[in-house]
Amino acid sequence: MFDKHDKKVLVVDDQYGIRILLYEVLGKEGYKTFQAANGKMALEIVEKESPDLVILDMKIPGMDGIEILKHIKKINQDIKVIMMTAYGELDMIKEATQLGALTHFTKPFDIDELRMAVQQQLAC
């Protein structure tokens, strides 16, 4: 069994409510959790903390999810990324997958499904 306390998760979303929800749920699960409201903040945390997993919203003002994903993979190819989208834009999801995103969730998502996906990704 892997130790969750060694695993770092970064939540990137411009919506405060979603960030806090995921921050609290994943924190209770035992992960060391970080949050960022925009791409610049997200990339600073990626550089400094090197999270194991990033939960990344597709639509963020300024630098969008695809852009952030590209930068994350440039910094560290091994960081796992789960995308979130409120729009179900298949072309963006397809591009995100080609760039290395593992899976995606459409908002509103089932928090338990997302929690399980995080657990699965960090267990391997």
Which top CATH class is 6-121? alpha beta
| Alpha carbon distance 92, 28 (integer Å) | 31
97 residue type, one letter: T
What are 52-70's pLDDT values in tens digits? 999 999 999 999 999 999 9
Per-domain residue ranges of the chain? 6-121
Please tell me which residue, 1 or 91, carries the higher pLDDT value. Answer: 91
* Phi, psi of 105, rounded to the nearest 5 degrees: -125, 140
- Look up the pTM and report it: 0.94
Burial (0-12, 13-18, 19+ Cβ within 10 Å), 26:
buried
Residues 35/10, Cβ–Cβ less than 8 Å:
yes
> Is the pLDDT at 102 greater than 70, yes or no?
yes
